[in-house]
Chains A and B, each alone.
Chain A
Amino acid sequence: MRHQRIYYANHTSHFDTLVIVATLPADLRAETHPVAALDYWGVSALRRFIAVECLNAVLIDRSGQASADPLEPSAQFLARGHSLILFPEGTRGGDGIIGPFRSGLYNLARRFPEAELVPVYLDNPSRVMPKGSFLIVPLICTARFGAPVILGTTEERAEFLARARAALIALAAPGPSIEVAQALG
């Protein structure tokens, strides 16, 4: 049976999603949905086309004004056995700093304990196209996949989020995680 996964990654560039999607084999790609911000990717027909039609994305309302749970559309895909790509910092950060995680990752992990939580550290997308620039510099990007993080049955939200973030930061130094990346493929 194929594993269902929530890939979670550091977020520095619009290229982040492309890098992860590009590393996935075609059959996994078809059932993997990046979670993208509605207030950015939903504002124009073109952006919506790129996100939803090209990248298979599911849009999330970050405004806090939504009547329903903003994670509900994402949860529906998990309920169908699909996978997600999540950027738990919630927004694109600066050079080399991984911000605190928002609680979506924890909430989804609680609801879908069978989904594997796979940290993915992205190297270089921020140099390809940093926040605030539309100039693309053609550098080679690397995605390092770590071992899945498992949510403990009694683990608290803050404790889990800190642990998941540490697992991602640990991938920032190149080294042993490369075998893991191949094993995942």
Chain B
Amino acid sequence: MIIQPIFAATAGGVVAFLGLCTLIGLVLSSRVKTPAARDTVANLNARIRSWWGIVAVFGAALVFGRIVTLVLFAILSFLALREFVSLTPTRRGDHRSLFLAFFVIVPLQYWLIGIDWYGLVAIFIPVYVFLLLPALSAVAGDTSDFLARNAKLQWGLMLTVYAISYAPALLLLDLPGYGFPNALLLLYLMVVVQISDVFQYVFGKLFGRIKLSPAISPSKTVEGLVGGGLTATLIGAALCGITPFSPLQAAGMSAVIVIGGFFGGFVLSAIKRDLGVKDWGRMIEGHGGVLDRMDSVSFASPLFFHLTRYYFAA
């Protein structure tokens, strides 16, 4: 457990930013008059309170090192998968597959990252789980909705386990010339993804007029996407000092993270509408479920991982 000055500085920046948000939240809550505005500010303050918790847990995991970080992400995948499957219909014949998904596939995927077996990390779920689970379902003998049931479970695993695991998989990259532990690059990814979400929300609330797609999400606006996306890209570029990227490369990487993250939230909103729910859960006050916070991470992480691996890894 080594706390480098650069890590402390980045963490300090995050804490300072959250402190500022908390102050703004306090000021807003003393000023709002209308009931609707009061609800919005109450939700904003609930979100900020939860952010303190998220930052504390995530920061502690990074400080305690690789194993704790992998365990944290395994738990996040487990909880996200739980939220996904709880809302997705399955039948009695899927019971064994579900048990396997939660208690074998989730730990195994993160264990493979832990032992640096990148080749199997990349194909374990898309190939072997893809073939194994329908085999188990077929043995159970229930053919009703067979294709749909298996496709939904595989989709849930790809999203909540496979895609999300690409974030901590950054820890297994060998990045010559990068003077810091890879945990800092993971922190960079999470900061840019979440800052993008936060500023899309803020810009949307302040200036949002044109709805992007009312059928999918009433809160996503063009103004929010552009304002939040540009802000996150600028912050990402400014943080290039903690990455192996030049300022321009960092801006490009951040833009990719922003676009990936946006589509993560967008696609998962479409699924929520399809399932008839507003949030994936209620575990994180103000935000909804774990998957409501990790949706953008799931789409952004594989992109960021592969670009970094292709252009910067040994």
Contacts and interface: CB of A to CB of B under 8 A. Distances in A.
Given A130-B92, A138-B82, 19 more contacts: A95-B91, A95-B92, A126-B92, A127-B90, A127-B95, A135-B96, A135-B99, A136-B99, A137-B85, A137-B95, A137-B98, A138-B78, A138-B102, A139-B82, A139-B85, A139-B86, A139-B98, A140-B82, A174-B276
B99 A140 contact: no
B83 interface: yes
A180 B187 CA distance: 44
Interface in B259-284: 276, 281
A90 B85 CA distance: 29
A133 interface: yes
21 contacts: A94-B92, A95-B92, A124-B86, A126-B92, A127-B90, A127-B95, A127-B98, A130-B92, A130-B95, A135-B95, A135-B96, A135-B99, A137-B95, A137-B98, A137-B99, A138-B82, A139-B82, A139-B85, A140-B82, A140-B83, A140-B281
Task: Pick the most buried of A133, A136, A137, A140: most chain B CB atoms within 10 A of its CB.
Answer: A137
A169 to B, nearest CB: 18
Given A124-B86, A174-B276, A137 B91 contact: no
Task: Pick the 7 closest A-B CB pairs, nearest first.
Answer: A140-B86, A135-B99, A137-B98, A139-B86, A130-B92, A137-B99, A138-B82
Interface of B: 78, 82-83, 85-86, 90-92, 95-96, 98-99, 102, 276, 281
Interface of A: 94-95, 124, 126-127, 130, 133, 135-140, 174
Contacts of A140: 82-83, 86, 281
B230 to A, nearest CB: 37
Chain B interface SS verdict (over half): helix
Contact of B95 (A124, A133, A174): A133
Nearest to A139: B86
Q: Is the interface of A mostly helix, strand, loop or mixed?
A: loop
A145 B42 CA distance: 28
Nearest to B282: A140
Contacts of B276: 174
Nearest to A133: B95
B270 to A, nearest CB: 19
Nearest to A132: B92
Contacts of B78: 138
Nearest to A131: B92
A139 B102 CA distance: 10
Contacts of A130: 92, 95
Nearest to B280: A140
A137 B93 CA distance: 13
Contacts of B95: 127, 130, 133, 135, 137
B80 to A, nearest CB: 12
Interface-centre pick from A94, A135, A136, A139 (highest chain B CB count, 10 A): A139
Contacts of A133: 95
B105 to A, nearest CB: 13
Contacts of A124: 86
Contacts of A174: 276
Nearest to A123: B86
Nearest to A124: B86
A176 B86 CA distance: 20
Nearest to B79: A138
B91 to A, nearest CB: 6
A130 B85 CA distance: 15
A95 B95 CA distance: 12
A89 B131 CA distance: 39
- Greatest chain A CB density within 10 A among B78, B83, B86, B281 is at B86
Contacts of A138: 78, 82, 102
A137 B281 contact: no
Contacts of B98: 127, 137, 139
A124 B281 CA distance: 14
Residue from A124, A133, A140 having most chain B Cβ neighbours under 10 A: A140
A94 B91 CA distance: 10
A95 B93 CA distance: 11
A124 B90 CA distance: 10
A140 B79 CA distance: 10
